[in-house]
Structure 1
Amino acid sequence: MKHKIGNGRGTFFWWDNWAPRGPLSTRFPSHILTDRGFNIDIKVDNFIFNSTWSFPHCIVSAIPELLSLSSPNSARNDKMVWIASPSGTYTLKSTSAFLIGQQPRVPRQNLVWESPVIPRMKFNLWLAVQSKLPTLDSKSIAQHENICVFYRAQPQTHDHLFFKCCFVSPLWRFIKQRGHFYSSITNWDDLIQYTSNQWKKNTASNLIRKICFFSIVYHTWETQ
């Protein structure tokens, strides 16, 4: 948060975030004020006269950035603004962009978050498409074998569990025959890429395919 100065009555000169480079208290020693006879809790309005800044030379010489301040507006009160938002109003989107920067939208966004399924299935698939579900190959607990719980001849990876396992393969074949949604795909990552690209339109057939897809992944994971 940052104080946008109006008449200066609602902002502490030393403590609040109003100066161009942030709170003065975090960057300067307090004796800059006290040695010159000013109270540490002085308000900004003490340095405003007729809507212009009126800093003593001793203060400006110690804090030169005060010379670059735009003129205050004594006709209005001070205002708190959200730095991360261009409008000054808090939004989750602007804050996220401020913290991590603008990120390109990944193709799977349409598949995962714009599908008409219950939230826990969306969250489950969101982890699965990133290979973030705790399959045995990603678990750090030493006593777990890295072996599929359904087909013990194979390691339990995302690719095996959700695509190649003998438990789930018949389900994919059934959906393929009824839904015609993939042909020569050979691994889990390619399946995600294909479905993300092919199911962008919210047609009735695509919605049914998405529901089937989410259900297979969710119940396969729940069963194991």
Structure 2
Amino acid sequence: MSWGWHKLIQLRPSIRQLLWSKIGDGASTFVWFDKWDHNGPLNSVLSLRTILRACFSLKDKIIDVIDNGSWKWPIAWRDLYPVLNDVPVPAINSTKTDCIVWRDGNGEEKNYSASNVWDAIHTRGERVDWATLVWSSKSIPRHAFLLWLVMRKKLKTHDKLKPWDVGGAVNLNLVCCSLCKTGPESHAHLFFECPYSAKVWTLIKDVTYMESSSCKWDDIVADFLCSRKNNSAKSVIACLVIAAAVYYVWQERNNRMFSNHARPPEKIRDIILETVCYRLVKMRFKNNARTSNLLAAWKLPKALIMDDACN
């Protein structure tokens, strides 16, 4: 089986807790193995041997263990397994069949959808203020992913690899930045304190409308967050340009390290602007004077002006 399928299989214990049997006539819900109550499934409380010794079947349905509105199981079970005292006898409705429903982590019944599943099972962390810079429906996915790694400082730069150095063919103490050959490589150095990447940032930062921003990554992010306006054309362009700059600087770093192929900063600038321009062509902008000026600056057709997408 594939890696992806194995991962899906591993999600079953989490998903099972959120799939509930909604009792109707009680004829299709397994009383021991299905989750139909907050305390279930009951096989997590009762062992299979205990169930069989009481002359029940492992295939019993809800209707099979109810008699005149009471449970058929032994009274002694209530002393041995106190949790059973909190399991109510479900109301049986012979006109309705049992059905499977989705409930979130709070036990609230919801319509099944991929978004509700994700909300219920994913691990929630503290929301970061830079999420709007990285994740957007207008972002270029591969750029956004790399930018996310940069924000979390997860790229395998030399300073990250140094603790792994065990004296092999490459001595990381002697390796310097492949872009400038003047200093040790780190996230802060690459974006954009390195003389090479600083030149790239200087060439493009005017189109991000952050002309006064320094070449330090933390300052660039802070300036963007301070000037950002929700979904404005300027903000969208700034997001695209910053993410593209990060992507192509990292690409250039890898090209020089592994293939000894170098491009000047001006070439990287041109690639960044061309990539962003291609992305902008697929968008639509609201009709106002500010947007018209932006389209003119990017030499984009006026046909992109419509009443949707960006301000």
TM-score bracket relative to the smaller structure:
0.7 to 0.9
- What is the distance in 1 between the residues matched to 2:84 and 2:250? 60
- What is the distance in 2 between the residues matched to 1:113 and 1:72? 47
- What is the distance in 2 between the residues matched to 1:98 and 1:115? 22
State the one-letter code of the partner of 1:153: T
Which of 89, 92, 96 is the equivalent residue of 1:73? Answer: 92
- What is the distance in 1 between the residues matched to 2:139 and 2:26? 52
Structure 1 range deviating more: 8-17 or 169-178: 169-178
Cα shift at 1:2? 2.5
In structure 2, relative to structure 1, the CA distance for the partners of 1:28 and 1:114 (3 Å cut) is: same
- What is the distance in 1 between the residues matched to 2:235 and 2:56? 70
Q: Are positions 1:133 and 2:155 aligned together?
A: yes
In structure 2, relative to structure 1, the CA distance for the partners of 1:199 and 1:57 (3 Å cut) is: same
State the one-letter code of the partner of 1:119: P
The C-alpha deviation readout for 1:134-184, integer Å capped at 9, x for no partner, is 222223653362521112221111111011111111122223445441535
Instruction: Give the aligned partner of residue 43 of structure 1.
Output: 61
Q: Are positions 1:207 and 2:236 aligned together?
A: yes
Q: Are positions 1:223 and 2:252 aligned together?
A: yes
Instruction: Give the aligned partner of residue 110 of structure 1.
Output: 132
Instruction: Give the aligned partner of residue 15 of structure 2.
Output: none
Contact 2:140–2:240, Cα closer than 8 Å, also in 1: no
- What is the distance in 1 between the residues matched to 2:83 and 2:21? 16
SS at match of 1:82: strand
In structure 2, relative to structure 1, the CA distance for the partners of 1:166 and 1:182 (3 Å cut) is: same
State the one-letter code of the partner of 2:90: S
Structure 1 range deviating more: 102-111 or 154-163: 102-111
Matching of residues 48-59 of structure 1 within 5 Å: 48-49=66-67, 52-58=69-75
- What is the distance in 1 between the residues matched to 2:201 and 2:137? 19
- What is the distance in 1 between the residues matched to 2:196 and 2:53? 78
Matching of residues 57-96 of structure 1 within 5 Å: 57-58=74-75, 60-61=77-78, 62-68=80-86, 69=88, 71-74=90-93, 75-84=95-104, 86-96=108-118
Which of 180, 195, 200 is the equivalent residue of 1:166? Answer: 195
- What is the distance in 2 between the residues matched to 1:212 and 1:54? 66
The TM-score with structure 1 as length reference comes to: 0.82
In structure 2, relative to structure 1, the CA distance for the partners of 1:26 and 1:124 (3 Å cut) is: same
Structure 2 gap ranges (5+): 1-18, 254-311
SS at match of 2:100: strand
- What is the distance in 2 between the residues matched to 1:144 and 1:183? 39
- What is the distance in 2 between the residues matched to 1:118 and 1:25? 48
Cα shift at 1:63? 4.3
Structure 1 gap ranges (5+): none
Cα shift at 1:16? 2.2
State the one-letter code of the partner of 2:43: S
Cα shift at 1:59? 6.6
Using CA pairs under 8 Å that are at least 6 residues apart, name the structure with larger relative contact order, 1 or 2. Answer: 1
Which of 192, 204, 214 is the equivalent residue of 2:221? Answer: 192
Contact 2:207–2:238, Cα closer than 8 Å, also in 1: no
Which of 31, 36, 43 is the equivalent residue of 1:13? Answer: 31
Cα shift at 1:23? 2.0
Report runs of 4+ in structure 1 exceeding 6 Å deviation.
none
